[in-house]
Structure 1
């Protein structure tokens, strides 16, 4: 088993390094292609970006804030569920109860984070409609 872990770690490190080098090489290639484009294709007045009227930093902060808020609320909801349904978790150690508790926490965090991102999307959509009017 240890030999397999060594091979897996080396493969993961090699894969990450390869992807980083590939990312930088493709970035330079894209920059060279953009520099070769004719200037009339790069006219910013003709090209309309989807979120050009609103700063993208605001929406990324909104997304992250809603995501973390959802994760926090998911943790609180998970604790309440565990407290009410698994009293054996707080009194003694049982492997099956521990697995159930970890499942409850994981599911509630993922559900809370997903709901937070959906709320961020709806707020962003509403703000975009308000800016277009």
Structure 2
């Protein structure tokens, strides 16, 4: 019944893996460049009294958990809404009497897929709006 989501899910996982692999190499190159710049800057004035540990008072807040939570909440809500639509609008859905009908199975697959995509996208949009509001508060507060 959930065959419609397997192909996009596999493509998404492979794409994410390739993206993270490229990001790993790019970040490594950037870190090496920063180390080289720092060593050039320090090599001219090598005095240990000027060297100190960096201050980590200003931390960058990550919204990864918020994005994942909103996405999963949207997907779950989409599955629930799709189930409710199928139960209420398709006769004999899930009873075994008419569930072998090809049309009903195809339509219910489309309903599930569209609800998952709609509510998952809405969850990501909500996460984006929350991020933007938090960014405006930080700019206004500083």
Whose helix proportion is higher, 1 or 2? 1
Distance 2:118 2:136 in 1: 27
Q: In structure 1, list runs of 5 or more residues that go unmatched.
A: 1-15, 41-51
1:96 positional shift: 1.8
Verify: 1:73 aligned to 2:77, yes or no.
Answer: yes
Q: TM (normalized to structure 2)?
A: 0.59
Two-structure CA RMSD over aligned residues (Å): 3.0
Q: TM (normalized to structure 1)?
A: 0.63
Q: In structure 2, list runs of 5 or more residues that go unmatched.
A: 1-16, 43-57
Distance 2:60 2:27 in 1: 26
- For the Cα contact (< 8 Å) 1:70–1:113, is it kept in 2? yes
Q: Who wins on radius of gyration, i.e. which is larger? A: 2
1:63-94 superposed Cα distances (whole Å, 9 cap, x missing partner): 11111111111111101111122123323211
Distance 1:121 1:73 in 2: 18
What residue number does 1:62 align with?
Answer: 66
